[in-house]
Amino acid sequence: MLKIIHRYKPQNILIISFIIFICLIAFLPSLTNDFVNWDDPFTLINNPLIKQFSIDNLFHITFSHYQGKYHPLTFITYAIEYHFFGLKPFIYHLTNLLIHLTNIFLLFYLLLKGLHQPLLVCTIVSLLFGLHPIQTESVVWVSSRKDVLFAFFYLSAILFYVKHFNTATPKNTNYYKKVSIALFLCSLLSKASAVSLPIALLIIDYAYKEKITITDIKQKTPYFLLSFLFGLITLVAVHLQQAFPNSLRFPFIEKFIFSTSAIFFYIFLILCPFKLSAYHPFPSDYGGSLPTFQRYSPIMFIILCILIFSNKKLNKQIKAGFAFFLITIAPTMHIFAMNDSFVYERFLYIPSIGIFFIIAKLINKLFTEIIIKSKIKKIIAICIALSYITLLISSTWQRCMVWKNSLSLWSDVINKYPDSPIGYFMRAKYEAAIDKPISAIKDYTTAINIDHSYFMAYFGRATILSKIDKIDEAIKDYSVVLSINKRFMPAYINRGNLYSEKRQYKKAIADYTKAIKLNPQNPLGYLNRAQTYIDAGLLNNALTDYETMLKLYPNNKFVLYKYHMLQKHIKGTMEKRQ
């Protein structure tokens, strides 16, 4: 990187330094943020893959998926941090921010030296990419490490590809191409969304060459092969874990409607970032009637594409910017996997570059043709630019504060979408974790009132009610859970525990038995049923459950101890009777 900086003119170094500095200031509050209860426990805090930093474990991370996710390089960065610093939020937030600042530098250098864009275009794109509040989720959320990390390798791969076709020396050409492919592999190992890179490279060819030839396509063969391979790996991981169960519920046309309307909403969020949120509910309830705009979004999308790509007067590079946006956002669309949220702002981290590029090109045209000719217009333009930069810094700073902790995060979601149950549910989970049962019950109840079929809210409320000794109310909530989802095993276990506490042993045993049928490998069903058998005086039945447990987990010392103690008790009882 020092070698790259050395090649910069002092003016360029000053500009990129200024951009990185103000971006650092804008994201500074994130360094004091905590983890949040949205994916951080799953991705980081309770992730067994990151708890050991050894050759064997690194090998295991590289060649295995975790809960339907295959982000080995991302997990390796977590493992390194955990090994040296444990679970200190500051370190993880600092790493995310440093990667983001590096990405700003890479983008500026790519546009200026690789794609030979005017300095004003490079400045505007880099500034918007680094400072826009839409990027906050990717930078501030620890679980979004995969987005900033894959972007680092993605931009680096493009940079070396551009060097590859700009270099006349065959030796250097082959070297740059090999490095580009290696960086692309690293991007894929960070996040599968990088599969869009081969087509993104063709878009660059389209923007800078008279026409794309068969040779250009053939040159992308290694990239396409890697994309196909990692696409396949991702599909297998998702299928094995059933990571996107909603995808199977909707026909193709409905997913296409959701995808095209999401594209328009993404563009709206970039141009008007006034309703940013960690969660955006679908414009209509599943199965309900769609809003007019959403129903006609596929037609409007097709018309928009025709207007842009068939317009011969429109600059090829502007067309390429829009195409880059579409191609890089495509892997995250509902047409491939139905997400729980209508849109996720982190999905825009790389695609937003395409829209920022279009904005920059239009401003550059306006500046060179109109503004530069008048001193007054220059002053006005500078004042507007400074005001907008100040607005961006303020908005990004505020979004960083929203991500301070789970309470502030979900309170913001509730403020933006008060009729959506997810904000209340997630805030209730946090309140329960910090021992605020009354507030948690209130939020769970609000979520239930909004969506009476939200069984997880009933389950959460039941768990809190049982802890404050409202046993009958808790049993009632667990029963509602099971009336909605009869295959939800934890509800059988928990209701069985409460029945056992009330000495209603038959009901407790029935619940544990159903839990065991749903998951014969889960030890809780056997352990709890064995204890209930003991309490009910059915000692031989309990002994059978312990024997089953020992077959499943022969090295479990606790079960072995309970088994031998029960055997001894049964033997002693029989001897007394004799």
pLDDT digits (tens, 9 = 90+) for 517-545: 999 988 889 999 999 999 999 999 999 99
**Those residues with Cβ within 8 angstroms of residue 287's Cβ, 6 or more apart along the chain or in another chain:** none
Domain ranges (residues) in the chain = 2-402, 419-483, 487-578
Q: How far is CA 558 from CA 113, 479, 520, 535, 546, in A?
A: 65, 31, 19, 18, 10
Our CA dihedral for 84, 90, 91, 97, rounded to 10 degrees, sits at 180
Q: pTM for this one?
A: 0.91
For 12-47, give the DSSP string.
HHHHHHHHHHHHHHHHGGGGG----SSSHIIIIIT-
Angle at 200 between CA 157 and CA 125, to 5 degrees: 80
Using the predicted structure, report yes or no on whether residue 283 has a pLDDT greater than 80.
no
- Round to whole Å and give the CA distance between 409 and 425: 12
What radius of gyration, in Å, describes the C-alpha atoms of the chain?
28
pLDDT digits (tens, 9 = 90+) for 125-164: 999 999 999 999 999 999 999 999 999 999 999 999 998 8
**Those residues with Cβ within 8 angstroms of residue 281's Cβ, 6 or more apart along the chain or in another chain:** 341, 342, 417, 420, 422
Q: In the structure, what pLDDT confidence band is assigned to residue 171 with cuts at 50, 70 and 90?
A: low
Same fold, 419-483 and 487-578: yes
Cα 208 from chain centroid? 33
Give the per-residue pLDDT at 231.
87
Give just the sign of the alpha carbon dihedral 331, 20, 279, 243: positive
Phi, psi of 286 (to 5 degrees): -60, 130
* 161 close to 44: Cβ distance less than 8 angstroms: no
Identify the architecture of domain 487-578 in CATH. Answer: Alpha Horseshoe (1.25)
pLDDT digits (tens, 9 = 90+) for 228-271: 999 888 877 766 555 455 545 567 788 888 899 999 999 999 99
Residue 355: Cβ within 10 Å count: 23
Using the CB atoms, write b or e for 225-245: b if 16+ within 10 Å.
ebbeebeeebeebbeeeeebe
pLDDT digits (tens, 9 = 90+) for 298-317: 999 999 999 999 998 888 99
Beta strands (DSSP E) in 310-365 are: none
Give the fold, CATH level 3, of 419-483: 1.25.40
**Mean pLDDT (whole number) for 265-290:** 82
